[in-house]
Structure 1
Amino acid sequence: MDAKSTIAALAALAQPTRLQTFRLLVAHEPEGIPAGELARLIGVPQNTMSAHLSTLSQAGLVTGERQSRSIIYRADLNQFRAVALYLLKDCCGGNVSLCQPLIEDLACCTPTPSLTRPN
């Protein structure tokens, strides 16, 4: 990941409909959503959704796969992870304690093994 790619990804997400689209695609991983369904769910015309998906795709945040007459879009979570890591690396100038609150906030997103209680 480099600065140019990171800026492109952030610029693509810096628009309400595109951010909403990306979040919806993340929520529907790994099956994805057809472009027409995305437009319907978000409430925009299909040609508008197509333009937004093109921007997200050029930024590497979504991929499209043709299935019959539809294109199924999916969030590219590896690219999103690379953007986040690019932003976080050396964010604290080597002072890990400055990033600790962020790490703790992110920990709530990771699944934890279920604890079994003794009978």
Structure 2
Amino acid sequence: MEKKDVLAGLAALAQETRLDIFRLLVEAGPEGRAAGSIAEALAVAPATLSFHLSALTNAGLILQRRESRSLIYSADFERMTGIVGFLSENCCGRSANAGTCIPVCAPTPEAANTEKTASPRCGC
């Protein structure tokens, strides 16, 4: 992942409403949530939500798809994992304990054995 992509993602998340939206979509998993459901859950006006969803989409953090008459949004877990990987790429690189670093979003043994996780890539 390129630094400019990481910066775009982090800049988009550096706003309270967008961070709340993204966390809600991570919790929803690959199925995502309808725009109306997001607005209701976060008590955000539709026009405000649309503005923030657009910013998150432009940053590549969320995906949008149409199901019938609804727009469904979901977190882009591949992009999220890429950003976390970029941030932790040199984790403990100069430490004597460099081999003990654990990726932030690595599946735990417990999560790997359960069917209900937020993401197939993440033991969240």
Q: TM-score, normalised by structure 2?
A: 0.79
Deviation at 1:31, TM superposition (A): 1.4
SS at match of 2:60: coil
Q: Is the 8 A contact 2:32 2:74 kept in 1?
A: yes
Question: Contact 2:88–2:103 (CA<8 Å) still a contact in 1?
Answer: no
Partner residue, 2:71? 71
Contact 2:61 2:76 in 1 (8 A): yes
SS at 2:31 equivalent:
coil
Q: For residues 30-45 of structure 1, what are the structure 2 equivalents within 5 Å?
A: 30-45=30-45
Q: 1:99 to 1:11 in 2, by over 3 A?
A: farther
Letter of the 2:102 partner, please give it.
I
Alignment partner, residue 117 of structure 1: none
In structure 2, distance between residues paired with 1:99 and 1:46: 47
The alignment partner of 2:102 has SS state of helix
Give CA-to-partner distance per residue, 1:58-107, whole Å, 9 cap, x none: 1111000011211000000000000111111124345462584x628766
The equivalent of 1:103 in structure 2 is 102
Q: What runs of 5+ residues in structure 2 fail to find an aligned partner?
A: 115-124
SS in 2 for 1:4: helix
In the alignment, what sits opposite 1:80? 80
| Cα contact 2:30–2:74 (8 A) shared by 1 | yes
**CA RMSD for the aligned pairs?**
2.3
Q: Tell me the TM-score normalised to structure 1 length.
A: 0.82
In 2: Cα distance, 1:63 partner to 1:37 partner: 16
Indicate the residue corresponding to 2:7 in structure 1: 7
Q: Is 1:21 aligned to 2:21, yes or no?
A: yes
2: CA distance between counterparts of 1:22 and 1:39? 13
Amino acid aligned to 1:12: A
Residue 46 of structure 1 is matched in structure 2 by: 46
Name the amino acid aligned to 2:30: P
Aligned residues: 112
- Aligned residue for 1:71, secondary structure, equals strand
Superposed structure 1 runs of 4+ greater than 4 Å apart = 104-107
